[in-house]
Structure 1
Amino acid sequence: MSDDAEIPETMSTYLRLRGLEPSPYRKKKRRRRADDGENAPFSPGRDPRGLGDVISALTQSAGWEPQLSREDLVRTWDQVAGADTAAHTRPVALENGTLTVQADSTAWAKQLQFMRAQILSEILRRFPEAGVEAIRFVGPDVPSWKWGPRAVPGRGPRDTYG
């Protein structure tokens, strides 16, 4: 008698499904996967990495570095420009490599023009991926005489000022 005859059919089916007894249908040899070295134990790159390293690799591979650098520049403007300067200024735009900084007054804007090289070198040192090549300082937004419900075409009410 064979071993299958001694074991009840339900038990042999159970053992065959659990993989404990070879199935007559599995005569083919299993194909071994090629060892590509990536999944081999103790190979380089298999050590666990910190979360910061994983996120850094993700941002670099996705191409997010320039945008995140620009966001960090705006977020840490008080450290880049100094606390006193940051209290009177704020970055408002970054287009074509030119950072536009708006000041509280025209006096602050003029003073910052003299400090342009120092601030730009600090930005390039801290955030080289941001793409800042130049800085433009502007004064505060002033109300316009040209818009509104009572706007007059031409010079308007200012023509009698002088």
Structure 2
Amino acid sequence: MARQALVAARAQARERGAAAQQRKQARRGGLRSGARSDGRDPLPLGAAINRLITERGWETPAAVGGVMGRWPQIVGGDVAQHCEPDHFDEESRVLTVNCDSTAWATQLRLLAPQLVARLNHDLGHGTVKLITVRGPGGPVRRYGGLRAPGSTGPGDTYG
């Protein structure tokens, strides 16, 4: 008789536990993290970043950003010492590169078609359409030997 009472008590406890579990799942929307993974489980950092990049559509900017970080490996050490990528316009797919001398700017303009091919091979076809090369900026133009502080040049005296 004691054994039957124990079996009945266990069955009632199981039923109460199952009902409580169902209520709990209903409150949480039916989702629970268990033996199998779902969308709420933690991810490794790399996988979380890759998922974010894919969800937001940032594949091209992320790939081009990687190119800017690997610029010396892509173009070579000599060119990388004198030329550095400035920015990438995603709409027109133009990479702008600044050079420290006009000779290196000319050299890079001659190498631009090969660099575009190499970048597109690395990033995917059509990622970069054009490389714009800019040389060094000229010195600030000053007129006359003496300048008054705050003047804007010869035009500031004529009203």
TM-score band (shorter)?
A: 0.5 to 0.7
Match of 2:114 among 102, 113, 118: 118
Change (3 A) 1:82 1:144: same
Match of 1:7 among 5, 11, 23: 5
State the TM-score, normalized to the length of structure 2.
0.60
Aligned residues between the structures: 122
Partner in structure 2 of residue 100 of structure 1: 96
Q: Which has the higher helix share?
A: 2
The secondary structure found in structure 1 opposite 2:84 is strand
- Report Cα offsets for 1:30-55 as digits up to 9, x if no partner: xxxxxxxxxxx9xxxxxxxxx79956
Paired-residue identity, %:
25
| Unaligned runs of at least 5 residues, structure 1 | 24-40, 42-50, 155-162
- Report Cα offsets for 1:70-118 as digits up to 9, x if no partner: 1111001111111110011111121221111000111110111111111
Q: Please give the residue correspondences for 1:13-24 in structure 2 after superposition, counting only pairs within 5 Å.
A: 15-19=11-15
Worse-matched range after superposition: 11-20 or 105-114: 11-20
Partner in structure 2 of residue 85 of structure 1: 79
Q: RMSD over aligned Cα, in angstroms? A: 3.8
* Counterparts of 1:122 and 1:87, CA distance in 2: 19
1:89 touches 1:104 (CA, 8 Å); kept in 2?
yes
* Counterparts of 1:15 and 1:55, CA distance in 2: 44
Change (3 A) 1:55 1:20: closer
**Runs of 4+ displaced beyond 6 Å:** 20-23
* Counterparts of 2:18 and 2:80, CA distance in 1: 75
Q: Which has the higher contact order (CA 8 A, sep 6+)?
A: 1
Partner in structure 2 of residue 135 of structure 1: 131
1:67 touches 1:130 (CA, 8 Å); kept in 2?
no
Q: Which has the larger radius of gyration?
A: 1
Match of 2:69 among 69, 72, 75: 75
State the TM-score, normalized to the length of structure 1.
0.59
